[in-house]
């Protein structure tokens, strides 16, 4: 290796150094462009947050100013007072949390089975679940609605939680993580007389913490953000979720601009918090599954 | 480890697994049952229900099937101009958004790969919009698009450009949802590309640099070819996601001026939940469903085959 580098013609070495210099300017240019681009992407957030803290009268007088003489929380307190935003938070929070818990349990169970158990029909099962990846649930709200009415589940949290748990993506995430656990470890536990349940619960599940956090975060974000299905299922004002409740504010009378924007900020705040805390897991999770 | 120590262990494992095959079967199905029940009821269920009621004259509000009408719903849907208009709107939205959402994140990810420090900043700036609920996005952009007083109107007017009527005209509405969607979902594809770029080994570039390849040449002859499978994946996911558009058009525009931007899902929503023609809307659902499944099936088979060839 060293001899090879030493024997390279000096001319070539010079050229590569020049290229490094050239690529340094290129890198600097790339950094500048991308920073401007990223700042542009932050404008809608920044503008919304700033405006939501300005008094309503100032916004009417000068809508796009980014300065205020009287910063105020007025719009935020009004958003809580005028809307049922507290209820919406509670509903969204309960639905998302319960969905996360159920999805992790149900999908890790079958993921473990597919990875480590030898049973008849396993391969067919994997293909059937794989086919489920192709089913576009957003397109099926009408038959879904009719089915849920027949089951008597309309208007309940379960109508939102149960469909969220049937997630083929989560199954495959868990299966691939369980597959990463060496067979010897499991066979050793079997020889020691551990039941499959104990192997799953005490040996394997604790080793799949990255999968648990990836699936949890994704389930939380998708159930929190779901719009059309909750719009159809939860029709009482107090039973609505954050996105459905907020969508009613557009064009509503008696709500001023600052209040609308403050509500928008309140709607995105919990998710932004989740994202900032877990950004690494989220982006890695996307990279490893690639499924929306 | 030597062979003498492993041999008995292997033999022992083999006997235990042979003895317990029966129990494995039972355990396997026990572990699978909870998911399978939910999967069958709530993922397969709606498909079957949709298929069945598309052959009946079902009303959405009544708890009965109604009269059997055979293929009448399908002929009605396929002969309905509004249905085809809404199909075209979803397709047009796909044509408008996919090029931006496949190419721009690629460019940004390549630029980001050249930067060593403060990567978290780009990850946050580009990906944060993606976790925001559609309703919040719509509220924010409704404010930005407001005629006369909105940020877009002020900035465009300020530099002397014509200001489109974002919320009141069909063309303006398409522009409005396209900008909103690119801003909102850009980060997802950015992250997919970034991950793929990190998988390209550093020495590939070093070797090229030693051979005197410029930054631009490296990008064209190394980065883009190696990213081809990822570009394919992003393209496919984006086409499927764009074809399923509903939230932003429904919340921001309510289907646009005279429903001129109404997507298929809203057409199904309108016929099924406003005029309560459940059977008819189910037939529309099945037509749309088949198109989406066909696209993903073709993609799945194509990638499997390519994987098998390689």
Q: How far is CA A149 from the centre of its chain?
A: 28
Provide the pLDDT for residue B242. 93
Q: Which two tokens stand for residue B137?
A: 């996005």
Provide the pLDDT for residue B57. 85
Judgement on whether residues B34 and B114 belong to the same structural domain of the protein:
no
Is position B125 within any domain?
A: yes
**Which residue range forms the structural domain that includes residue B23?**
3-39
Q: Rounded to a whole number, what is the distance in Å from the CA of A201 to chain B's nearest CA? A: 12
pLDDT digits (tens, 9 = 90+) for A22-79: 577 778 888 888 899 999 999 998 888 888 888 877 777 777 777 777 788 787 888 8
pLDDT digits (tens, 9 = 90+) for A164-187: 999 998 998 899 888 888 888 888
Is position B302 within any domain?
A: yes
Q: Which residues of B touch A45 (CB under 8 A)?
A: 128-129, 140
How deeply is A11 buried, as exposed, middle or buried, from its count of CB atoms within 10 A (0-12, 13-18, 19+)?
A: exposed
Phi, psi of A63 (to 5 degrees): -65, -30
Tell me the sheet residues that pair with B59: B277
Please compute the mean of the pLDDT values over residues A286-292 and round it to a whole number: 58
Tokens 């394997």 sit at which residue?
Answer: A204
Report the C-alpha gap between A174 and A176 in whole angstroms.
5
Judgement on whether residues B115 and B27 belong to the same structural domain of the protein:
no
Q: How far is CA B12 from the centre of its chain?
A: 49
Judgement on whether residues B180 and B288 belong to the same structural domain of the protein:
yes
Does A24 reach chain B within 8 Å, measured CB to CB? no
Cα separation values, B69 from A29, B280, B283, B285, Å:
65, 10, 12, 17
Is position B215 within any domain?
A: yes
Q: Which two tokens stand for residue A211?
A: 């999968």
The count of structural domains within chain B is 2
Q: Rounded to a whole number, what is the distance in Å from the CA of B73 to chain A's nearest CA? A: 15
Does B10 reach chain A within 8 Å, measured CB to CB? no
Judgement on whether residues B21 and B144 belong to the same structural domain of the protein:
no
Q: How far is CA B24 from the centre of its chain?
A: 38
Cα separation values, B144 from A24, A44, A242, B138, B141, Å:
38, 8, 21, 10, 5
Contact A259, A75 (CB under 8 A): yes
Using 50, 70 and 90 to split pLDDT, how confident is the model at A83? confident
User: N- to C-terminal Cα distance for chain B?
Assistant: 35
Provide the pLDDT for residue B137. 93
Strands (E), B55-124: none
Judgement on whether residues B147 and B274 belong to the same structural domain of the protein:
yes
Q: Indicate yes or no: CB of B133 within 8 angstroms of CB of A242.
A: yes
Is position B47 within any domain?
A: no
216-275 of A, contacting B, C-beta below 8 A = 221, 224-225, 227-228, 232, 242-247, 249-250, 257, 260-261, 263-265, 267-268, 271-272, 274-275
- B168-A266-B241 Cα angle (round to 5): 55
Does B274 reach chain A within 8 Å, measured CB to CB? no
Q: Rounded to a whole number, what is the distance in Å from the CA of B6 to chain A's nearest CA? A: 12
Q: Indicate yes or no: CB of B28 within 8 angstroms of CB of A227.
A: no
Provide the pLDDT for residue A20. 52
Contact B302, B77 (CB under 8 A): no
Using 50, 70 and 90 to split pLDDT, how confident is the model at A143? very high
Inter-chain contacts counted by CB atoms under 8 A, chains A and B: 315
Total-model pTM? 0.85
Q: Greatest CA span in chain B, whole angstroms?
A: 85
Q: Which residues of B touch A31 (CB under 8 A)?
A: 111, 114-115
Q: Rounded to a whole number, what is the distance in Å from the CA of B223 to chain A's nearest CA? A: 15
Judgement on whether residues B17 and B145 belong to the same structural domain of the protein:
no
Judgement on whether residues B105 and B19 belong to the same structural domain of the protein:
no
Is position B61 within any domain?
A: no
Is position B74 within any domain?
A: no
Is position B167 within any domain?
A: yes
Q: Indicate yes or no: CB of B144 within 8 angstroms of CB of A47.
A: yes
Provide the pLDDT for residue B223. 82
Q: What is the CATH number of the domain that holds B224?
A: 1.10.3720.10
Residue A109: pLDDT over 60: yes
| Mean pLDDT across chain A | 83
Residue of B nearest to A218 (CA): B131
Q: Is B164 left (phi over 0), alpha (psi -120 to 50) or beta?
A: beta
Report the C-alpha gap between B281 and B58 in whole angstroms.
9
Judgement on whether residues B159 and B34 belong to the same structural domain of the protein:
no
The CA-based dihedral angle spanning residues B176, B180, B181, B183, taken in that order and rounded to the nearest 10 degrees: 140
Is position B54 within any domain?
A: no
Judgement on whether residues B21 and B124 belong to the same structural domain of the protein:
no
Q: Indicate yes or no: CB of A139 within 8 angstroms of CB of B43.
A: no
Contact B103, B110 (CB under 8 A): no
pLDDT tens-digit profile, chain B (310 residues):
333 344 444 444 444 444 445 568 888 888 999 999 999 999 999 999 999 999 988 887 777 777 788 888 899 889 989 999 999 999 999 999 999 999 999 999 988 888 877 788 888 899 889 889 999 999 999 888 888 778 888 888 888 888 888 888 888 899 999 999 999 999 889 988 888 888 787 777 777 777 777 777 777 788 888 888 889 889 998 999 999 999 999 998 888 788 888 999 999 999 988 888 888 899 999 999 999 999 988 888 887 776 655 4
Closest listed residue to residue A108, CA positions, set A191, A192, A219: A219
Report the C-alpha gap between B256 and B273 in whole angstroms.
19
Phi, psi of B59 (to 5 degrees): -100, 135
Q: Indicate yes or no: CB of A250 within 8 angstroms of CB of B139.
A: yes
Provide the pLDDT for residue B22. 56
Judgement on whether residues B30 and B137 belong to the same structural domain of the protein:
no
Which is it for the CA torsion B3, B6, B8, B14, positive or negative? negative
Cα separation values, B132 from A40, A265, B108, B124, B265, Å:
17, 9, 21, 12, 21
Provide CB contacts within 8 A for A190, sequence distance 6+: A199, B16, B20
For chain A, what percent of residues have pLDDT higher than 70?
89
Provide the pLDDT for residue A271. 87
Q: Which residues of B touch A105 (CB under 8 A)?
A: 34
Q: Indicate yes or no: CB of A168 within 8 angstroms of CB of B188.
A: no
Candidate from A11-20, A92-101, B121-130, B159-168 with smallest mean pLDDT: A11-20
Judgement on whether residues B171 and B252 belong to the same structural domain of the protein:
yes
Contact A137, A226 (CB under 8 A): no
Judgement on whether residues B20 and B130 belong to the same structural domain of the protein:
no
Q: Rounded to a whole number, what is the distance in Å from the CA of B111 to chain A's nearest CA? A: 5
Provide the pLDDT for residue B285. 92
116-145 of A, contacting B, C-beta below 8 A = 117-122, 125, 129, 132-145
The helix or strand, by DSSP H or E, that contains position B21, with its residue range, turns out to be helix B21-39
Residue A13: pLDDT over 50: no
Length of chain B measured in residues: 310
In order, the DSSP letters of A27-51 are HHHHHHHHHHHHHHHHHHHHHHHHH
Closest listed residue to residue A47, CA positions, set A258, A244, A269: A258
The CA-based dihedral angle spanning residues B63, B67, B68, B73, taken in that order and rounded to the nearest 10 degrees: -80
Contact B57, B67 (CB under 8 A): yes
Residue A218: pLDDT over 90: no
């Amino acid at each position: 290796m060293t001899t090879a580098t030493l024997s390279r013609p000096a001319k070539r070495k010079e050229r590569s150094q020049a290229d490094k210099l050239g690529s340094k300017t290129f890198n600097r240019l790339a950094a500048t462009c991308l920073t401007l681009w990223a700042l542009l992407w932050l404008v809608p957030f920044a503008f919304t947050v700033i405006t939501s803290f300005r008094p309503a009268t100032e916004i009417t007088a000068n809508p796009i100013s980014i300065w205020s003489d009287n910063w105020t929380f007025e719009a935020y307190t009004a958003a809580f007072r005028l809307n049922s935003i507290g209820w919406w938070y509670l509903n969204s929070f309960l639905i998302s949390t319960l969905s996360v818990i159920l999805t992790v349990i149900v999908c890790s169970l079958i993921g473990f089975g597919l990875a480590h158990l030898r049973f008849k029909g396993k391969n067919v099962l994997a293909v059937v679940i794989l086919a489920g990846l192709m089913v576009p649930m957003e397109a099926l709200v009408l038959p879904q609605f009719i089915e849920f009415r027949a089951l008597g589940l309309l208007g309940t949290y379960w109508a939102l939680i149960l469909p969220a748990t049937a997630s083929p993506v989560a199954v495959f995430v868990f299966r691939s993580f369980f597959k990463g656990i060496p067979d010897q470890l499991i066979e050793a536990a079997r020889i020691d007389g551990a039941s499959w349940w104990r192997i799953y619960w005490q040996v394997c599940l604790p080793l799949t913490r990255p999968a648990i956090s990836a699936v949890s975060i994704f389930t939380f974000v998708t159930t929190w953000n779901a719009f059309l299905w909750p719009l159809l299922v939860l029709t009482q004002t107090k039973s609505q979720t954050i996105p459905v409740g907020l969508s009613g504010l557009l064009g509503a009378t008696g709500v001023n601009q600052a209040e609308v924007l403050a509500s928008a900020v309140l709607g995105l705040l919990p998710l932004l918090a989740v994202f900032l805390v877990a950004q690494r897991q989220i982006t890695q999770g996307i990279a490893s599954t690639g499924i929306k | 480890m030597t062979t003498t120590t492993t041999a008995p262990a292997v033999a022992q494992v083999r006997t235990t697994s042979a003895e317990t095959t029966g129990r494995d079967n039972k355990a396997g199905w026990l572990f699978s049952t909870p998911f399978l029940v939910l999967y069958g009821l709530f993922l397969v269920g709606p498909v079957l229900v949709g298929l069945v009621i598309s052959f009946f004259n079902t009303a959405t509000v009544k708890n009965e099937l109604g009269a059997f009408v055979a293929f009448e719903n399908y002929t009605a849907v396929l002969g309905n101009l509004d249905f085809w208009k809404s199909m075209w709107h979803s397709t047009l939205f796909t044509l408008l958004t996919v090029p931006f959402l496949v190419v721009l994140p690629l460019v940004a990810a390549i630029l980001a790969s050249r930067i060593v420090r403060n990567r978290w900043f780009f990850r946050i700036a580009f990906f944060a919009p993606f976790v925001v609920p559609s309703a919040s996005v719509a509220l924010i952009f409704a404010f930005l698009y407001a005629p006369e007083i909105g940020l877009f109107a002020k900035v465009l007017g300020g530099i002397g450009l014509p200001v489109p009527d974002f919320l009141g005209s069909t063309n303006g509405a398409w522009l409005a949802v396209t900008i909103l969607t690119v801003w909102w979902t850009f980060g997802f594809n950015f992250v997919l590309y970034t991950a793929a770029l990190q998988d390209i080994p550093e020495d590939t570039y070093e070797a090229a640099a030693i051979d005197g390849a410029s930054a631009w040449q490296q990008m064209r002859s190394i980065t883009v070819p190696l990213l081809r499978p990822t570009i394919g994946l992003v393209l496919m996911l984006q086409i499927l996601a764009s074809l399923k558009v509903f939230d932003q058009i429904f919340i921001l525009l309510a289907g646009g001026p005279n429903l001129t931007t109404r997507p298929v899902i809203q057409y199904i929503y309108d016929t099924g939940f406003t005029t309560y023609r459940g059977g008819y809307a189910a037939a529309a659902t099945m037509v749309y469903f088949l198109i989406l499944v066909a696209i993903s099936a073709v993609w799945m088979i194509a990638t499997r085959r390519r994987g098998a060839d390689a």
